[in-house]
Structure formats: structure tokens, C-alpha cells
């Protein structure tokens, strides 16, 4: 793929570097000495990890020079289709290292070395570890050019600083003058969570959000709040920097209740070992429902993050006493926002009704709703041959609300609203040990560290009437997993082992999962639940020529179902490197000698994930 490289004025660094103080060890890697703008900051909440380092904007284009931040040597080079794409790692003389990701190309010396290795390994993707003497760099050397490779969604430079133990440090803590921030964090809403069956938010069990209003120099909830019992607090907020509208992370958050610091997080360094715990640091369920990423101000089960100065599993609110809540949010430049909320000081008149039908599962409880009508019967739960009448914790003219503690046992059925309901609950699975659950439709194997918290396993099977597909439904998309599980599906239909695989089903769309067949069953590893089906991919990939001549070879490669697994090209029987940009489905020839013409017998083979193969053949002249 061809990149547009900007003609950029590269000024002399002599006077600029000499002007740096001895304390200013690192050079900003993009347009040093000029104002720059960020698209992401350290510790920002992403879908599956805390963002490492900073994302530096490059004007929406590839090709900006990338400068070495300090003296050292390149100790790692990586090219991958996802992740950081083309990336460089520099070890510095002070024991730290810096990372430069999503690059479009390396400088000439590094590019030549990488190309040779790609031909030696006959692979576009690779990882290299040069020795200390191969690529020494000085502060300010051009090492590469910015781009959009890997999992980047737009051109920018990803930049990290790591300590000697490979912990990620906040680059903004090094006071780069290129970044300006005089804007305090922005607060959008608060949420309060009942952490046990005796706790209430405005008289109700569950999780409830409250909008905030900025009054003077602080934010306050718009309506009165009553809290009782063990309550967790969450906040949705983000930081803005001068000149851009990107919503960035907030490195420091402090929760103070009645003058005491209850919780404090400081994300000035992060460990890769704890990245998965973001799934319980934020409200994952709310995020998976399509909402924003709420930051929990309490330590939920399974959270092993190590950036909490003060940690709490929630706070006990006495419903007879008022309490003062204060939340301080501070960005990397010392700008602070304050949230202040006084609870239990005013009666809440219009208490909310939970948005549930018959029941929902929240934390360890079934939250039950019994619509009031003439002759309404009480809620009854049947389990293990016994019957339990559930006493409502709240009664209104519309409905009664009650809780059943699932730790007592999984219900066989529930009598509610004049009918019997058979919930799709199968078992209670707890973390800390290896577990295998057997069923006539599936087998589920959990490892000791798979779960953050107790899993209430739900499952149902059906047939899609329009497609005839078997649907294995695990309606637990909102449950985070710390590590992978192994799931074996036992279909009733017969499938061809060579072409049938497991797919996750999203509406009408299928997403390849994979799996291995044995004795009519298919097994795969997964990291999230949902609806699975088994489908056969009988169609080979499509190879579409875009440019074919003696100077350039460009092709689009696509597959309608399982996706591309492998491709390989030869010219006159010799390996020919094809670079790949998966976001555009494009591959293009990168000959070892750029001056050689692409002449002779060219063969391109593309294979999908079920082994279907397409071959393109051309005698190039």
C-alpha cells in the first residue's frame, strides 16, 4: 500500500537540544518544540484495557517524522496486523525504554534490515530483537514515520515510556511543553450501586444513575438522593486538553465521605499483568449495554489492580444520618474538578421503579417484580423440593418488588404474576478452582483464574427458523472474564468436520470463532459469552486484482464467512513478500530489490480459516 508522506520542514535540532535542561531527559517524538495535540492519554478506559502511553495526533495523515526521545539503541522491532502494527522499542541509557506504534515505515537502515528478515523468515509479520550495537540512536534522530498500521482507527503516533521493569509510565508526568492543558476534567453523571441485598438507593435495590449540574466551581446531583447500607459509587467523567475535543482519561480520582478519604486511584504507572482488571474497574455491564465507561470508586470482586492508594469495598451509609460526599478529579497538569453531594438530607418523593419485567439477575440476587392487580398472589420460589414465599421489600400501587438470594440455591421455577416461570439458570460457578460443567448440549471448563466473580450460568437452545441454524445461547454478554474458558458444543445436526466451525451470532451477522471437532462435538476457547452457532464455509476467498504490472502488484483479498487465515506469493518459484493492511483488505508486493521488475510467473494463494483456497496465476511481462 502506498502512503502519503508529507514534505515536512525538518529544522536543525542543535540549538533546540542545547536549550534542553539536564532534567528534560526525553524529547517529544513528534514536532518537538511545537504545540502538539493528543487523541488519547495514559490510563484512559478502553474496551478491554487501560490505554498505555499517549496517542499523538498527526493532522489526520501518515508520514510525519518520528524522533528518538533519548539516546539508546533499538532493542525490539515488531510488525503485526493488529496491535501496534509497525512498532519500534528503544532501550535508553537511564534504564527506561520508549515505544513508538502504528508507524507507516522505518528509517532506511531499519527498513532494509526488516525487509531482509522478512525474506529470511518468509513472513510479513515478525518480531526482531537487534543487539545493542546494530541500531544505536541519539536523541532527535529520525527513526521512523507516523502512520495508521495495526489496530489504529486513524493516523497517529502511539508513544509510551516504560521503566526498567516494563511498567508503563505517564508521559505527561515528564512535563512536555508541547502539550497544553488548562481545562479541568468534565463530569457527566454519578451512579450508586447496592452491594448487598440489604442496601438501597432511593428505596430500591440495584444500580441507579444521576445527572449532575455544575454550580459555581463544583458539580452536584440534580435531584435528592437517599442511600442506605453498603453502597458503591461510580462516576462517568473525562478530561479535555487545549485545542481538541477528544475525551481523555483522568489519572487521579479521590473519594471523600464525611471528611475521610475512602478511595483514591493514581494511574501514573500501570502494569501489563493487571490490564484485564479494567473489566471490573469500570462498570462492564453498563458498557456492554451501550452506555459510557463508568469508573468504579470501590474495589469489586476479582480486581487486582495495583494503582489504588486507598481502597474500599464500598461504604456503609446509615439511612438515618446525612452524609457528605466529595469526589476530586485531577488531570496530569493539576487541573481539578470537584463533585459534591449531600445524601439523606431531603426526602425523595418520586422514587424510581426498576426497569425490569418479571425478574433480572443483579450481583447475587434475583430482583423480582410482581404486578399489583386484584387477587395478586405472593411471589413463590421453588427449588430443591421446597417452596419459599418471598416477602416484598417495597410495595407500590403498580407493583411489588422482592429479592431472592441465589446463593441459597438455583430456582427450579418461580410463581409470579399468576404464572410459573422457568428461568434459564443452570448453576452457580465460583472462582478459585478448576470447574467443568456438563450438560446434554454443551460442556464448559473454567480454569482457576477464569472468573472475577461468581457466575450464574444461563443457557438455552433453539433453532433459527429462517436459517435452520442451531443456536446455543449463553445470555451472559455482560459478564467479564479474567482469562479464557473452554466450551464444547454438542450439536444434534451433522456437520462436515473440514468446513464447519463455530461462529458468534450478532443478529444476522456471523463472526468466526473456530473450534476443533472430535466425536461429533466441537471445542473452542472463548473470552466472552453470547449466542453461538455452527456454520459451514464452502466458499473460497476472493482475490481481486487492483494493480498488476511489472512495477506494482496490488490485490484485495476477502472472504465471505470464516475470514483470511493465510496468504503466500511466489515469483518464478521464489518467495515474494506481500505486505498486508487488513483494515483495507489490501496486499501488495514488496520485492527484496526495489529496482527489479516484477516479471515472470506470479502465483498468489489465499486460504481461509476452514481451509478453502483460491489461487491467482499470471505470467507477468
Name the 3-class secondary structure at 277.
helix
Residue 253: pLDDT over 80 = yes
CB atoms within 10 A of CB 350: 8
Q: Is the pLDDT of residue 184 over 80?
A: yes
Q: How does pLDDT run across 88-145, given as a tens digit for each residue?
A: 999 999 999 999 999 999 999 999 999 999 999 999 999 999 999 999 999 999 999 9
Answer yes or no: is pLDDT of 2 > 60: no
**Whether the predicted pLDDT of 527 surpasses 50:** yes
Q: Spell out the residues 6+ positions from residue 44 whose beta carbon is closer than 8 angstroms to its own.
A: 50, 51, 248, 249
Mean pLDDT of 412-430: 91
pLDDT score of 8 more than 60: no
Residue 285 has phi, psi (to 5 degrees) of -60, -45
pLDDT of residue 189: 97
CA–CA gap between residue 26 and residue 216 (Å, rounded):
39
- Other C-beta atoms lying within 10 Å of the C-beta of residue 501: 24
Domains of the chain: 14-174 (2.70.70.10), 186-343 (no CATH), 359-415 (no CATH), 428-536 (2.60.220.30), 542-620 (2.60.40.10)
Spell out the residues 6+ positions from residue 109 whose beta carbon is closer than 8 angstroms to its own.
Answer: 135
Q: What is the pLDDT of residue 410?
A: 94
How high is the pLDDT of residue 239? 97
- Binning pLDDT at 50, 70 and 90, where does residue 20 land? very low
pLDDT of residue 374: 62
66: number of Cβ within 10 Å = 24
Contact 170, 268 (CB under 8 A): yes
How many CA atoms within 13 Å lie on the side-chain side of 334? 1
How many residues appear in the chain? Answer: 621
**Block residue for cell numbers 438470594:** 405
Does the pLDDT value for residue 572 go beyond 50? yes
pLDDT above 90 as % of the chain: 89
> Model-level pTM greater than 0.95?
no
pLDDT of residue 585 exceeding 80, the answer is yes
Q: Under a CB-based contact definition with an 8 Å cutoff, are residues 425 and 456 in contact?
A: yes
Amino acid at each position: 500500500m502506498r502512503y502519503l508522506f508529507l514534505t515536512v520542514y525538518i529544522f536543525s535540532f542543535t540549538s533546540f537540544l542545547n536549550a534542553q535542561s539536564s532534567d528534560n531527559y526525553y524529547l517529544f517524538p513528534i514536532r518537538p518544540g511545537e504545540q502538539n495535540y493528543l487523541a488519547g492519554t495514559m490510563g484512559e478506559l478502553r474496551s478491554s484495557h487501560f490505554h498505555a502511553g499517549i496517542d499523538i495526533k498527526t493532522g489526520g495523515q501518515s508520514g510525519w517524522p518520528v524522533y528518538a526521545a533519548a539516546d539508546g539503541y533499538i532493542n525490539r522491532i515488531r510488525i503485526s496486523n493488529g496491535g501496534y502494527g509497525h512498532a519500534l522499542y528503544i532501550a535508553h541509557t537511564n534504564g527506561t525504554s520508549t515505544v513508538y506504534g502504528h508507524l507507516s515505515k522505518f528509517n532506511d537502515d531499519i527498513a532494509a534490515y526488516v525487509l531482509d528478515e522478512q525474506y529470511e523468515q518468509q513472513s510479513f509479520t515478525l518480531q526482531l530483537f537487534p543487539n545493542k550495537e546494530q541500531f544505536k540512536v541519539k536523541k532527535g534522530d529520525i527513526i521512523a514515520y507516523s502512520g495508521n498500521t495495526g489496530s489504529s482507527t486513524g493516523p497517529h503516533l502511539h508513544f509510551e515510556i516504560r521503566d526498567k521493569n516494563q511498567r508503563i509510565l505517564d508521559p505527561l508526568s515528564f512535563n512536555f511543553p508541547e502539550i497544553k492543558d488548562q481545562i479541568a476534567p468534565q463530569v457527566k453523571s454519578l451512579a450508586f450501586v447496592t452491594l448487598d441485598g440489604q442496601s438501597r438507593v432511593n428505596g430500591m435495590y440495584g444500580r441507579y444513575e444521576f445527572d449532575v449540574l455544575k454550580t459555581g466551581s463544583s458539580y452536584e446531583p440534580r435531584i435528592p438522593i437517599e442511600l442506605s447500607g453498603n453502597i458503591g459509587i461510580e462516576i462517568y467523567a473525562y478530561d479535555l486538553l487545549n485545542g481538541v475535543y477528544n475525551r481523555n482519561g483522568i489519572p487521579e480520582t479521590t473519594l471523600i465521605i464525611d471528611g475521610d478519604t475512602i478511595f483514591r486511584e493514581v494511574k501514573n504507572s500501570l502494569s501489563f499483568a493487571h490490564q484485564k482488571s479494567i473489566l471490573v474497574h469500570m462498570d462492564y455491564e453498563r458498557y456492554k449495554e451501550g452506555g459510557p465507561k463508568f469508573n468504579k470508586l470501590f474495589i469489586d470482586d476479582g480486581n487486582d489492580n495495583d494503582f489504588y492508594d486507598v481502597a474500599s469495598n464500598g461504604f456503609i451509609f446509615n439511612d438515618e444520618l446525612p452524609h457528605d460526599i466529595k469526589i476530586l478529579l485531577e488531570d496530569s497538569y493539576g487541573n481539578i474538578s470537584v463533585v459534591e453531594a449531600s445524601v439523606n438530607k431531603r426526602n425523595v418523593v418520586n422514587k424510581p421503579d426498576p426497569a425490569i419485567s418479571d425478574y433480572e439477575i443483579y450481583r447475587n440476587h434475583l430482583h423480582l417484580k410482581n404486578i399489583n392487580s386484584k387477587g395478586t398472589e405472593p411471589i413463590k420460589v421453588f427449588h430443591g423440593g421446597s417452596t419459599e414465599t418471598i416477602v416484598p421489600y417495597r410495595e407500590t400501587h403498580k407493583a411489588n418488588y422482592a429479592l431472592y438470594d441465589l446463593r441459597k440455591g438455583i430456582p427450579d421455577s418461580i410463581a409470579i404474576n399468576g404464572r410459573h416461570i422457568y428461568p434459564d439458570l443452570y448453576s452457580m460457578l465460583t472462582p478459585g478452582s478448576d470447574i467443568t460443567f456438563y450438560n446434554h448440549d454443551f460442556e464448559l471448563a473454567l480454569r482457576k483464574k477464569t472468573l472475577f466473580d461468581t457466575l450464574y450460568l444461563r443457557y438455552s437452545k433453539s433453532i433459527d427458523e429462517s436459517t435452520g441454524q442451531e443456536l446455543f445461547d449463553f445470555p451472559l454478554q455482560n459478564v467479564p472474564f479474567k482469562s479464557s474458558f473452554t466450551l464444547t458444543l454438542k450439536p444434534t445436526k451433522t456437520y462436515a468436520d473440514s468446513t464447519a466451525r463455530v461462529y458468534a451470532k450478532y443478529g444476522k451477522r456471523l463472526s468466526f470463532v473456530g473450534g476443533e471437532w472430535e466425536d461429533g462435538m466441537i471445542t473452542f476457547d472463548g473470552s466472552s459469552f453470547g449466542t453461538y452457532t455452527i456454520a459451514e464455509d464452502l466458499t473460497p476467498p476472493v482475490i481481486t486484482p487492483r494493480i498488476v504490472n511489472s512495477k506494482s502488484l496490488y490485490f484485495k483479498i476477502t472472504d465471505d464467512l470464516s475470514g483470511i487465515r493465510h496468504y503466500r506469493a511466489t515469483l518464478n518459484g521464489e518467495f515474494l513478500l506481500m505486505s498486508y493492511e487488513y483494515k483495507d483488505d489490501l496486499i501488495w508486493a514488496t520485492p527484496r530489490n526495489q529496482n527489479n521488475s516484477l516479471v515472470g510467473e506470479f502465483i498468489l494463494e489465499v486460504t481461509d480459516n476452514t481451509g478453502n483456497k483460491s489461487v491467482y496465476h499470471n505470467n507477468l511481462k
